[in-house]
């Protein structure tokens, strides 16, 4: 009878990947990156553990959205006061913080608990082409 092996923390290696987001569709990029952060691409995947890899996303300001999402897609926040809802469309949000739409899309595809918060710490998003993680020797990830 075959036994299922579950890896212990330290029995698996974490890789670093770099993704160039220029011209990529937001949702397709986010699903692929969320899979890598979670570790679902590895044979030793366990849903209750953090076995995923680190991901660096560069050129997040050049992300592509389809249809009329540039004007129609809205992000909302609330001030916790009555009537305090704040709506911002995609175009305004990407001008103010170019990394927010990518980070927000990936965060929504991860678990909404302690594990998801831990996975988000392995995601590094940068608006331009420069990043401070050259010493980790990230591998190019083609989507």
In which band, very low, low, confident or very high, does the pLDDT at 10 lie, cut at 50, 70 and 90?
Answer: confident
pLDDT digits (tens, 9 = 90+) for 29-43: 999 999 999 999 998
Residue 26: C-alpha distances to residues 50, 100, 112 (Å)? 24, 11, 20
In a domain, 4, yes or no: no
CB 56 within 8 A of CB 133: yes
For the chain, what is the mean pLDDT? 95
Q: What pLDDT shows up at residue 99?
A: 97
- Give percent of the chain with pLDDT exceeding 70: 100
In a domain, 6, yes or no: no
In a domain, 40, yes or no: yes
In a domain, 30, yes or no: yes
Pairwise CA distance, residues 38 & 115, whole Å: 9
Instruction: Tell which wins on pLDDT, 143 or 137.
Output: 137
Q: What pLDDT shows up at residue 1?
A: 77
In which band, very low, low, confident or very high, does the pLDDT at 6 lie, cut at 50, 70 and 90?
Answer: confident
The CATH number that applies at residue 45 is 3.90.1180.10
Q: What pLDDT shows up at residue 86?
A: 97
In a domain, 49, yes or no: yes
pLDDT digits (tens, 9 = 90+) for 18-75: 999 999 999 999 999 999 999 999 988 989 999 999 999 999 999 999 999 999 999 9
Q: What pLDDT shows up at residue 70?
A: 94
Contacts of 139 (CB under 8 A, 6+ apart): 15, 16, 17, 18
Number of domains in the chain: 1
Domain with 125, as residue range(s), is 16-66+99-140
Whole-model pTM: value is: 0.93
């Amino acid at each position: 009878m075959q036994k299922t092996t579950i890896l212990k923390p330290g029995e698996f290696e974490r890789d670093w990947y770099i993704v160039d987001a220029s011209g990529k569709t937001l949702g397709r990029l986010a699903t692929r990156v969320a899979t890598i952060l979670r570790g679902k691409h590895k044979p030793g995947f366990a849903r209750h553990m953090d076995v995923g890899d680190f991901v660096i996303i560069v050129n997040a300001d050049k992300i592509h959205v389809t249809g009329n999402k540039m004007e129609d897609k809205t992000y909302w926040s609330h001030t916790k006061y009555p009537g305090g809802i704040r709506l911002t469309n995609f175009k305004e949000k990407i001008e103010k913080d170019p990394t927010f739409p990518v980070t927000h899309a990936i965060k929504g595809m991860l678990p909404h608990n302690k594990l998801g918060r831990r996975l988000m710490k392995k995601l590094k998003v940068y608006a331009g082409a420069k990043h401070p993680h050259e010493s980790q020797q990230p591998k190019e990830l083609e989507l």
